[in-house]
Chains A and B, each alone.
Chain A
């Protein structure tokens, strides 16, 4: 069964304290892995797509990496405005464009 697990569930950082969020996945075949940011009361905002192991994408303080079993979202020198829930989702080969989401990591960055 296709599955996505994110860890930790919650993470508290001081401003400037770099860290990584983990997304472990089990799928029959990976078509794509997606990272989203979700603020309270809002819909998920698309950040990155990764398609194959070894691929990396960067945007400001965020960098996403992908292996055959997991993805990491590295946050370098975070700021309070980076506080949000970060969601990981995978799309498996075959079938329709279904995304399987993890439960997310709630990140709080304190000044």
Chain B
């Protein structure tokens, strides 16, 4: 059973606010990811990390930033929220090694609404 936790589960907030979405995993996985998912649509990768102090942007352009100071923690920050940021944000992690094709395990997401 994957142990990956996201908080908050739901957030409704006004335009211009700074937001941090939290993601923690207890499995010791080196690799972590952030995806964005709109209703009925594909998941799109916005950030990933191969380990501490390693972060990269994914395919989908995002105004968010991430940090990886500890293995278990991978927060995502929006400096100034806008209505276009309204979406569901999913965090995932995976093991390293064994051909680098290990499955990613997901948290339950944060549903973000910007008014």
Contacts and interface: CB of A to CB of B under 8 A. Distances in A.
Interface of A: 4, 31-32, 34, 36, 41-46, 49, 51, 87, 89, 91, 96-99, 101-104
Contacts of B44: 101
Interface stretch (B14-22, B35-43, B72-80): B35-43
Nearest to B10: A41
Given A97-B31, A98-B59, A42 B101 contact: no
Nearest to B50: A96
B105 interface: yes
Contacts, number: 61
B100 A103 contact: no
Given A46-B104, A97-B31, A103 B42 contact: yes
Contacts of B106: 36, 43-46
A97 to B, nearest CB: 6
Contacts of B107: 43
Contacts of A97: 31, 33, 48, 94, 100-101, 104
A51 B101 contact: yes
Contacts of A34: 103-104
A34 to B, nearest CB: 6
Nearest to B4: A43
Nearest to B43: A101
